[in-house]
Amino acid sequence: MVPPILSLALPSETGRVLSIQSHTVQGYVGNKSAVFPLQLLGYDVDPINSVQFSNHTGYPTFKGQVLNGQQLCDLIEGLEANNLLYYTHLLTVCDPVMGDDGKLYVPSELVSVYREKVVPVASMLTPNQFEAEQLTGFRIGSERDGQEACNILHAAGPSKVVITSINIEGNLLLIGSHQKEKDQSPEQFKIVIPKIPAYFTGTGDLTTALLLGWSNKYPDNLDKAAELAVSSLQALLQRTMNDYRSAGHDPQSSSLEIRLIQSQDDIRNPQVKLRAEKYK
């Protein structure tokens, strides 16, 4: 008689993450960008690939398959039937990602689904500026606007909100907000991030994974978790830039595939050079 698989699946000390995102055979976006960093930080990660494509959609062409709703349900039911559906965290970027740079990547009617169904059940949200504006209906044109957008999202449910990239007057900011009690004002902070003159793929997925990993290790210090996540990301992006330049490529000529594997040490042990500044 085969022993039950459940006996082999013991909870990890750090956490078990179910990550539902896209997958590409080549390159690092979606689960390819998120699973490995979380494993480096000590998490067991089980990926469900919402799509499986040859490469990301920024290339001239791509081939592959899309997971439909029934196939997703089948996978969940299989886990549940074997008592394997015990996760400390669910990581998803509502694949496909809503949008960026003023452009929606999904049908506009999906925005209301995200706003009404997904946001209220999330414990942490990590939208970019455009996504935060879509979810709140509030234009972000200043730091104060970024703080207010966080407040609006808190009111919808999540206790932690990190708007990962806000372009304000030539500066790139991360604005984070942690509402520890519903009847209290949130603790808010910003990190000023140096701009790197290039376009990278998979950075949003990586940032979200790093924020999950570090915020779980420092549950009461979202600012410290953000410092560690941003520091890892900046080191990785700089390595990617240097790698392309050393190979004789112009980093600004096309989107760059991030050097994830080569940046393992920066993910495990980031050197914090960018500090959070708390708002009063």
Sign for the pseudo-dihedral over CA of 222, 203, 124, 157: positive
Is 243 among the catalytic positions?
Answer: no
How much helix, strand and coil, in percent to the nearest 5, is found in the chain?
Answer: 40, 20, 40
Structure token pair of residue 140: 């972000």
Please answer whether residues 27 and 46 qualify as being in contact, where contact means their C-beta atoms are separated by less than 8 angstroms: no
Query: Which 3 state secondary structure label does DSSP give 243?
Result: helix
- Sign of the Cα torsion 97, 222, 112, 68 reads positive
Q: Residue with structure tokens 């009404």?
A: 116
| Alpha-helical runs (H) found in 104-261 | 109-113, 129-136, 143-156, 203-217, 222-246
Which residue among 95, 205, 223, 266 is the active-site one?
Answer: 205
Place of tokens 């290339």: 59
With b for 16 or more beta-carbon neighbours within 10 A and e for fewer, the 163-190 pattern comes to bbbbebeeebbbbbbbbeeeeeebbbbb
What token pair was written down for 241? 């830039």
- Active-site residues: which are they? 205
